[in-house]
């Protein structure tokens, strides 16, 4: 549901299809990793007191009151929460002083051809992530965080935010590769001579998926570019080289998407050319048949006139001679067509 026109800035409107809100909290650094499933605000407060850094993962946007209380607990700006619930936002990075707000599109875990809104709040000692639906691409990040010998648990919240951003960007690559394989299969079918209308539908479906991915990734280039330039205060200089790597991945994704969009357009042109070629072949065949029968029809028409005195009318060999004449005319025309390479 969109925010009502004229509403106060920061008004939170629950989307009509929002899922129940669940909170998962992980405290790390110092004494190890402590995780709370279905955490309450009291659990989050306890983790903040006992751990140097806390990652709070919120899934589902139905409980607006809980989102507001989490925002108050971490000092999140109300405008950022409003942008989070407005699912038509472009990917962006905004600095609100006490925290950084990253908003982007993430591949839906249940349907790889759709994306969902994903928000990241980064501040001193905390990372708050918000996603529309359960299921994400952060399992490996959680394993790295739980590894006592790993480096992630020893680093700050900005490195965790980088790792989450990197996972979101890398999750696009399998989807793009699947679209590449899909386009290759369609290309083989077109080159094999298939002219069924289902090919057009599949091509348009692939183009829609590419357009949806491009719409999600294109603004992300500007957002990661701002992080690389150091326009934010919540990412240390030690983390910026890793952010440059994420930016490179985004640029690579955009190049792949543009290439596959051009390929899909070329395949559509190839399909239409193939259909036109088949149609031209049929028309050429019918034209040749009609051309062959023009002189034959003339001969038959002449000998079909009802006059008493006509050449060979009373001859016994007249009928076979007429048939031989028509066969000779047809053979001569076929020879001429082949010599002119019309056949």
Q: What is the set of domains in the chain, with CATH numbers?
A: 1-152 (3.30.460.20), 282-339 (1.20.58)
Q: Residue 205 contacts by C-beta under 8 Å, 6 or more apart in sequence?
A: none
8 Å CB contact between 261 and 207 = yes
pLDDT by residue (tens digit) across 100-145? 999 999 988 767 678 888 999 999 989 999 998 888 889 899 988 8
Q: Please, which residues bridge with residue 55 across strands?
A: 26, 127
More confident: 130 or 342: 130
Cα(141)–Cα(119) distance, integer angstroms: 17
Structure tokens at 165: 């951003």
8 Å CB contact between 67 and 192 = no
Helices 318-339 and 240-303 pack at an angle, to 10 degrees, of: 150
Query: Would you mind telling me the total number of residues written for the chain in this entry?
Result: 343
Q: Phi, psi (5° rounding) for residue 92?
A: -160, 165
Q: Among residues 301, 304, 281, 305, which one has the least CA distance to residue 293?
A: 301
Structure tokens at 235: 């990412």
Q: Pick left, alpha or beta for residue 6 (phi over 0 → left; psi -120 to 50 → alpha; otherwise beta).
A: left
pLDDT by residue (tens digit) across 204-249? 888 889 988 998 899 999 888 888 887 777 888 888 899 999 999 9
Q: Please, which residues bridge with residue 24 across strands?
A: 57
Helix, strand, or coil here: 315?
coil
Structure tokens at 136: 């994400």
- pTM for this entry: 0.79
More confident: 283 or 165: 165
Cα(303)–Cα(285) distance, integer angstroms: 28
Largest CA distance in the chain: 122
> Which span out of 32-36, 148-152, 273-277 was modeled with the highest average pLDDT?
32-36
Name the one residue in this structure whose structure tokens are 């062959």. 292
């Amino acid at each position: 549901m969109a925010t009502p026109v004229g509403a106060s800035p920061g008004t939170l409107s629950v989307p009509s299809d929002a899922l129940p809100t669940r909170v998962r909290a992980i405290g790390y650094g110092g004494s190890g990793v402590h995780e709370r499933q279905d955490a309450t605000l009291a659990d989050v407060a306890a983790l903040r007191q006992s751990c140097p850094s806390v990652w709070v993962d919120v899934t589902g946007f139905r409980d607006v009151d809980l989102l507001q209380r989490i925002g108050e607990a971490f000092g999140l700006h109300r405008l950022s929460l409003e942008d989070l619930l407005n699912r038509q936002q472009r990917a962006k990075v905004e600095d609100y002083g006490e925290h950084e707000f990253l908003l982007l599109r993430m591949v839906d875990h249940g349907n790889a051809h759709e994306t969902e809104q994903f928000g990241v709040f980064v501040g001193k000692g905390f990372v708050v992530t918000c996603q529309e639906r359960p299921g994400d691409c952060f399992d490996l990040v959680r394993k790295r965080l739980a590894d006592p010998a790993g480096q992630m648990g020893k680093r700050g919240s900005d490195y965790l935010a980088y790792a989450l951003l990197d996972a979101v960007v890398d999750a696009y690559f399998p989807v793009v590769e699947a679209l590449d394989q899909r386009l290759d299969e369609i290309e083989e079918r077109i080159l094999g001579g298939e002219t069924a209308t289902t090919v057009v539908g599949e091509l348009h479906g692939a183009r829609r998926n590419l357009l949806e991915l491009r719409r999600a990734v294109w603004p992300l280039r500007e957002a990661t570019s701002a992080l690389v330039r150091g326009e934010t205060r919540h990412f240390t200089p030690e983390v910026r080289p890793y952010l440059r790597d994420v930016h490179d991945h985004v640029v690579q994704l955009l190049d792949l998407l543009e290439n596959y969009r051009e390929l899909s357009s070329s395949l559509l042109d190839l399909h239409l050319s193939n259909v036109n070629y088949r149609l031209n072949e049929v028309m050429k065949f019918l034209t040749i048949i009609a051309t062959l029968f023009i002189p034959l029809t003339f001969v038959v028409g002449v000998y079909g006139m009802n006059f008493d005195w006509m050449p060979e009318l009373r001859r016994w060999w007249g009928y076979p001679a007429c048939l031989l004449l028509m066969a000779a005319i047809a053979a001569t025309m076929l020879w001429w067509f082949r010599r002119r390479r019309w056949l």
